Amino acid sequence: MEQLKIGDKVYNTTQNGFTDFIRYSFSEVVGLTKTMAILKNGVKLINQPKVSYITEDVGYSVSRKKGMHWHLVSLSAIRKAQLENEKIKAHDWFESKEFTLGEKQIIYNLFTGQDK
């Protein structure tokens, strides 16, 4: 477990309850002090890696919010974020869309197999 360095890419996840989507935030370390790493988005992390049970095995606590952790970016994290963002995009589209009766019939027929 190493301390963060300038240029390291990190991410954080948030979720509003178990039924909410996981929302990913990405940033980069742009500054260091003796004890902190400052991210491009202004978040200050305690630059001491610690065991994290939230998203990854190792995390870096947010200053003054010790329960919130940021983690080093991995290909796996990027892929998970892409998949989650696709779900959010589909959900938001359906939430904002008002379907006509004809569109509702098409969707119904597609889902019930009556589109033949």
Q: pLDDT digit string (tens) for 84-95?
A: 999 999 999 999
- In whole angstroms, what is the distance from residue 9 CA to residue 4 CA? 9
Question: Given this model, what pLDDT does residue 1 score?
Answer: 74
Mind listing the pLDDT tens digit for each residue in 64-114? Answer: 888 889 999 999 999 999 999 999 999 999 999 999 999 999 999 999 987
pTM (2 d.p.)? 0.81
Query: 53 pLDDT exceeds 80?
Result: no
> CB–CB of 94/81 below 8 Å?
no
Question: Given this model, what pLDDT does residue 115 score?
Answer: 61
Question: Given this model, what pLDDT does residue 54 score?
Answer: 73
> CB–CB of 52/105 below 8 Å?
no
Dihedral, CA of residue 95, residue 21, residue 64 and residue 40, to nearest 10: -80
Which tokens in the block code for residue 68? Answer: 């919130």
Which tokens in the block code for residue 60? Answer: 């870096």
Domain range annotation of the chain: 9-112
What three-state secondary structure class fits 38?
Answer: strand
Question: Given this model, what pLDDT does residue 116 score?
Answer: 57
> CB–CB of 24/32 below 8 Å?
no
Q: pLDDT > 90: what percent of the chain?
A: 74
Unique residue bearing structure tokens 């909410």: 20
Query: 52 pLDDT exceeds 90?
Result: no
